[in-house]
Amino acid sequence: MARLEDFKSAIETGYTFKNESLILGAGILDGEGVEGLQVKLPLRSFNRHGLIAGATGTGKTKTMQIIAEQLSSHGVPCLLMDLKGDLSGLAMPGETNKHVEKRHSIIQTPWMPMGMPLELLTISNGKGVKMRATISEFGPVLFSKILELNSTQQGIIALMFKYCDDNKMPLIDLKDVRKVLNFITNEGKEEIKEEFGRVSTASVSTILRKIIELEQQGAEAFFGEKSFEVEDFTQLTRDGKGMLSVLRLTDIQDRPKLFSTFMLSLLAEIYATFPEEGDLDKPKLCVFIDEAHLIFNNASRALLQQLEAIVKLIRSKGVGIFFVTQNPTDVPDAVLSQLGLKIQHALRAFTAKDRKNIKKTSENYPDSEFYKTSTILTNLGIGEALVTGLNEKGVPTPLVATLMRAPMSRMDILTDKEIDEVVRRSAWVTKYNEEIDRESAYEILKKKLEDAAKDDHKEEIKEQKEKAKKVVKEKGMFEEVSKNTMVRQMGRTVIREITRGIMGMLGLKSTRRRRR
């Protein structure tokens, strides 16, 4: 009994806040939820980033769902990456059952079915609002990092951007990039050489191959216009709820480079666009990245450094980033150290390697006099998790095993018909789903080369005409000469014949005299 009272005292002291807070669930001791012992986190700490981890089927997605619901209800918009399709259910009210009722009777917080304001987004050809970005918006540094280029190749990309800026040629999509790269090594080689120096054809060929690799992962659907305005993610509904923007990524799970490209460009755009906010009472935007290991496992060192820098700095913009993955070891230490909230669902120890990882994972959490962390990690049930966050002063809260509350929205995916209806009602579809193919580098260079070809053709025709005139003139002279020659030849023939005639007559007379 004394132990239970000590536990209650520790949790109530560590999880009581003056300002607005979110209720995550009820504290667990010795495998049982303690009635009325609510585990809360202050709203203002949600821009300090977080981690939601756990084995498959332990409840990570539902935890992401309940946090997003509460943030929205408190006027905080969220952007959620949905690789499995589970989060679309946020748009529809949920259904209760005896397990939900029992869980909420322990937590002592009301449960009511509720659909949330939702926008469905896509970066491929799936259903939803099309999210696009232009090559120019990426800039030479980020675009080079996405392609994993060396310093020489990065220099060529920088040259390409400079040449296009100087000549007012927008770089919109990948066909623009290919056209410019082909131009600077072929038709425009002398022009580029005169202004920037010689460009390596072999390096350009390598860049083109890397662009093809990116295209094969579906990047053509992402690069283009109209570019998505990140300020739209911060919209509120008329009744003050934060808009939940769910990016459906079910069709690009096998294309991690495209996912990494999008995420990095999005975070970079948010960081560059949002003003400095300092410590707000509640975040301006929260971003949830499901299956985060897909980013970290397939990112180059340069990409990771860029992501680490953004995670460290974006907090001052009023933005919180939450990584959802199976194991904390999926997240680099430099990023993990920046995460104030950690929600750890159960891990399973099937192999010696699993047991080693569990021991390593337990070291990421504060010590507790009520739990042996490495043991309880394998004993947590579905919808239960270890929780530790930051209080209003930025101090870590005590580690507590928590019976998580149930989502109020649907704990399942939407049907195709329901998805169509959500998209039909979208206020963003008319803004972003119209494809724009304005004049850009591809069209400008194509016209330039066509005009050059026409000029060359005109010059060639002119040269041919000059040659023709010369030939005609030479032919006339030849005919005149030939004519004169023929006259002279005829004259000679006539004289010769006359001479022969005279000589013949003279010879004939001479013969006749001799005969006489």
DSSP string, 335-375: HHTT--EEEE------SHHHHHHHHHHHTTS---SS--HHH
Identify whether residues 329 and 211 lie together within a single domain. no
Of the three residues 416, 432, 448, the one that is the final residue of a domain is 432
Identify whether residues 121 and 140 lie together within a single domain. no
Q: What is the pTM of this model?
A: 0.81
Residue 95 carries which DSSP code?
A: -
The residue type at 291? E
Domain count across the chain: 2
Identify whether residues 82 and 213 lie together within a single domain. no
Of the three residues 175, 202, 219, the one that is the final residue of a domain is 219
Long-range contacts (CB closer than 8 Å, 24 or more residues apart) made by 331-334: 331/51, 331/292, 331/293, 331/296, 332/296, 332/304, 332/308, 334/308
Of the three residues 219, 240, 258, the one that is the final residue of a domain is 219
| Domain-embedded: residue 479 | no
pLDDT tens, position by position, for the chain (516 residues)? 668 999 999 999 999 998 899 999 999 999 999 999 999 999 999 999 999 999 989 999 999 999 999 999 999 999 999 988 889 999 999 999 999 999 999 999 999 999 999 999 998 878 899 988 889 888 898 888 888 899 999 999 999 999 999 988 889 989 999 999 999 988 888 888 888 888 999 999 999 999 998 888 778 888 888 888 999 999 999 999 999 999 988 877 667 777 777 787 888 889 889 999 888 889 999 999 988 887 787 666 777 887 888 888 899 999 999 999 988 888 888 899 899 999 999 998 888 888 888 888 888 888 888 999 989 999 999 999 999 999 998 999 999 999 999 999 999 999 999 999 999 999 898 888 877 777 777 788 777 667 666 655 556 666 666 766 666 566 555 455 455 555 455 555 444 554 445 444 444 444 444 444
Identify whether residues 252 and 286 lie together within a single domain. yes
| Domain-embedded: residue 356 | yes
Identify whether residues 259 and 384 lie together within a single domain. yes
Predicted pLDDT of residue 227 = 86
Give the tokens for residue 319: 């933005």
Sign of CA dihedral 128, 51, 322, 236: positive
Identify whether residues 299 and 317 lie together within a single domain. yes
Do 346 and 384 form a contact (C-beta atoms < 8 A)?
yes
Identify whether residues 117 and 147 lie together within a single domain. no
Identify whether residues 99 and 139 lie together within a single domain. no
Identify whether residues 250 and 340 lie together within a single domain. yes
Q: Please report, for the domain that includes residue 280, its CATH number.
A: 3.40.50.300
Integer Cα distance of 500 and 308 in angstroms = 114
Identify whether residues 424 and 306 lie together within a single domain. yes
Q: Which residue range(s) make up the domain with 265? A: 2-131+225-432
- Strand bridging mode 319-325 / 50-53: parallel
Identify whether residues 257 and 381 lie together within a single domain. yes
Residue 110 carries which DSSP code?
A: -
- Strand bridging mode 21-29 / 400-404: antiparallel
